[in-house]
Amino acid sequence: MDKDNKGVSLDEFIFRKLQPIRILRGYLANELELAEGEGINMSRMDLDNIVSTLEIFLEEYDRVSGFRGRKGSDRKKTSFMDAKAQAIKTIA
């Protein structure tokens, strides 16, 4: 890549966007290991942070994919190549 091209590959983009989800998965797995019995106690703040992390990921996915939850037959299907092109445009 030349110095003027500031884009990243789709793999790098996806890897970066999945990092918060991987951290969240690790946190939840750790909570499950530490839990005794059937119930799990979690603070409201922790649960709010989990929801926020998921919302950020989903909003970013929607922004990159171009899917806006349109109803009916006018729903645009995004191919892998379209998503890759959109992701690269977004980063550049």
Q: What angle do CA 81, 24, 29 make, to 5 degrees?
A: 120
From 23, 11, 13, select the one nearest 63 (Cα to Cα). 13
- Enumerate the domain spans of the chain: 10-64+80-86
When pLDDT is averaged across residues 19-31 and rounded to a whole number, the result is 91
pLDDT in tens, 38-91: 888 888 999 999 999 899 888 888 877 775 555 444 445 555 556 656 555 655
Full-prediction pTM beyond 0.85?
Answer: no
Higher pLDDT, 30 or 15: 30
